[in-house]
Amino acid sequence: MTFTQSTFDIRCEWGMHGVEVLAPISDVVIIIDVFSFTTCVEIATAQGATIYPYRGEDAAGFARSAGAEVAVKWGGNGYSLSPHSLCALPPDLRLVLPSPNGSTLSLGTGHTPTLAGCLRNARAVAAAALRYGPRIAVVPAGERWYPEEALRPAYEDWLGAGAIIDALSGTLSPEARAARASFRDAGDQWADLVTQCGSAREHVERGQGANLALVAALNVSDCVPLLTDGAYRKLLDG
């Protein structure tokens, strides 16, 4: 019970440990992986796509079993974890999207309703989450330090968590208050700050600078991706 934040309505904790501790005692979980899994999910599902999060070695085999395409690795030609690659999709695309962060967390929430949140849909996701109940877990995914694979708290995910929490109602844990304070501190400079953070610089170094404006846009979408039967789809009343 030490780290459950269970005396508060709105809880916030990082990464897989956050999912494991908070999901079983919450009415809904919001996963935030701004660079770039949940931004990709929002952009794709807003166009009617079905997105399968995946963790494991045989993504191609899983895609065949699901009648879906599989995303390519960074730098390849085709759909990938680059949000820019998903801006113009064919109708009813089914896509497997492997991710060591956002996908892994999404598949760890068990039977708790799970939403994909980012800056683009922060307000819409908050409104949808409140319909599931007052106990809301907000989980920023973070990134990875390489090669040791340790969690790297990521500014953009903390900001995304804060943007969602700022639109929620209920009692806030100290951790949730800290995320909200970060978002409020950013003020109208949020876009500049996101595009200057370490994850943004990594995208630029990889030749993916076109993603920056997409991930930094705030409340431009009413799409709420809901994880159902192992896949994210747009919540029709989101």
The one-letter amino acid code at 16 reads M
Q: Rounded to whole angstroms, how far apart are CA atoms 164 and 124? A: 9
pLDDT at position 75 is: 66
What is the model's pTM?
0.97
Give residue 148's pLDDT band: very low, low, confident or very high (50, 70, 90).
confident
Answer yes or no: is pLDDT of 218 > 70.
yes
The mean per-residue pLDDT over the stretch 137-144 comes to 95
Q: In terms of DSSP bridges, do strands 28-32 and 114-117 run parallel, antiparallel, or are they unpaired?
A: parallel
Question: What tens digit of pLDDT does each residue of 57-74 get?
Answer: 899 999 999 999 999 987
Give residue 38's pLDDT band: very low, low, confident or very high (50, 70, 90).
very high
Answer yes or no: is pLDDT of 107 > 60.
yes
Give residue 144's pLDDT band: very low, low, confident or very high (50, 70, 90).
confident
Answer yes or no: is pLDDT of 238 > 70.
no
Give residue 153's pLDDT band: very low, low, confident or very high (50, 70, 90).
very high
Low-confidence winner among 42-56, 74-88, 161-175, 189-203 (lowest mean pLDDT) = 74-88
The mean per-residue pLDDT over the stretch 191-220 comes to 94
**Average pLDDT value over all residues in the chain:** 95
Q: Rounded to whole angstroms, how far apart are CA atoms 52 and 50? A: 7
Low-confidence winner among 149-153, 213-217, 222-226 (lowest mean pLDDT) = 149-153
pLDDT at position 1 is: 76
